[in-house]
């Protein structure tokens, strides 16, 4: 493992009753924007939840921001330094956007004298500055998602974990969000779990591909593109090149039988 890595996972196993979601996974991530790809049920959300310290591993070691996350006190300290957007997040519908993001800033122990400015900055960065005093229950689904992103970045996290962050965003908002990701990745470690390979192609410097709870590929986005070869579909684009590389990496991981090695099913 890289001693300077923000995320250092060794032998991570997560079980949900009789199902193995992650199987002795090793993963190391440093600063930059990392795309987390994989088929449905591959274990992406299980990994994000462990990294966010909201779920405990069945076994293995998880070191975040240079700290072993096994102890309660250590997890509390880590949470002040990370941001997390789950696929589904709770909020009080009667809260305004400002109140919702300010509440999370309080939970993250953002100093009281800095919190108001931090809230306004986070809300502006996601394009909701004109709705900052609107109640959450009046927002569209895409706006609620953007408010969720705002709460994840209000504490200027060193580790930012986003699970399907562009769900509900329109194409223009997704383009703006990718630009924000690239900016955040210049000074933090950002992990984006998504099934939209175009988001990875546009914003991520590195890709980790998981299938059946194991790491099938990790490397620069350009390396995944190269795996797709030179053949292109009619009207081919960098996005379709990433898709071909994704498929090639999965097939290589599965081997000649066409199934994941030592399938967990």
Cβ atoms of 159 and 188 within 8 Å: the answer is yes
Question: In the structure encoding, which two tokens stand for residue 119, read together?
Answer: 């809230």
Which pTM does this prediction carry?
Answer: 0.89
Residue 180 has φ and ψ, to the nearest 5°, of -65, -40
Q: What is the mean pLDDT of the chain?
A: 89
Cα–Cα distance, 143 to 147 (Å, whole number): 6
What one-character DSSP code corresponds to residue 139? S
Which range among 61-75, 90-104, 186-200 shows the weakest confidence by mean pLDDT?
Answer: 186-200
Strand order of the β-sheet with 189-193 is 82-85, 159-163, 189-193, 32-37, 206-211, 214-220
Do the Cβ atoms of 201 and 244 come closer than 8 Å?
no
Model confidence pLDDT, tens digit, residues 18-63: 889 999 999 999 999 999 999 888 999 999 999 999 999 999 999 9
Q: For the chain, how many residues are written?
A: 265
For residue range 56-96, list pLDDT tens digits in order.
999 999 999 999 999 999 999 999 999 999 988 889 999 99
**What percentage of the chain has pLDDT greater than the value 70?**
91
- Rounded to an integer, the average pLDDT of 190-212 is 89
């Amino acid at each position: 493992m890289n001693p300077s890595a923000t995320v250092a996972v060794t032998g991570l196993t997560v079980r949900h009753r009789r199902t193995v979601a992650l199987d002795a996974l090793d993963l190391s991530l440093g600063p930059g924007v990392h795309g987390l790809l994989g088929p449905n049920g591959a274990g992406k959300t299980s990994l994000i939840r462990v990294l966010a310290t909201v779920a405990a591993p069945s076994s293995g070691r998880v070191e975040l921001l240079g700290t072993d996350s096994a102890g309660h006190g250590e997890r509390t300290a880590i949470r002040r330094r990370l941001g997390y957007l789950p696929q589904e997040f709770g909020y009080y519908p009667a809260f305004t956007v400002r109140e919702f993001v300010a509440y999370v800033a309080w939970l993250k122990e953002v100093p009281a004298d800095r919190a108001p400015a931090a809230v306004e900055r986070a809300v502006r960065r996601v394009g909701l500055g004109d709705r900052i005093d609107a109640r959450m229950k009046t927002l569209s689904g895409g706006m609620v998602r953007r408010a969720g992103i705002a709460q994840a970045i209000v504490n200027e996290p060193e580790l930012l974990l986003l699970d399907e962050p562009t769900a509900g965003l329109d194409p223009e908002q997704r383009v703006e969000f990718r630009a924000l990701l690239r900016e955040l990745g210049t000074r933090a470690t950002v992990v984006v779990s998504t099934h939209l390979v175009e988001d990875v192609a546009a914003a991520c410097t590195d890709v980790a591909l998981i299938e059946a709870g194991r790491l099938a590929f990790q490397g620069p986005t350009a390396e995944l593109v190269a795996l797709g070869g030179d053949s292109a579909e009619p009207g081919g684009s960098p996005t379709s090149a990433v898709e071909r590389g994704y498929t090639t990496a999965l097939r290589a991981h599965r081997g000649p039988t066409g199934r994941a090695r030592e399938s967990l099913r």
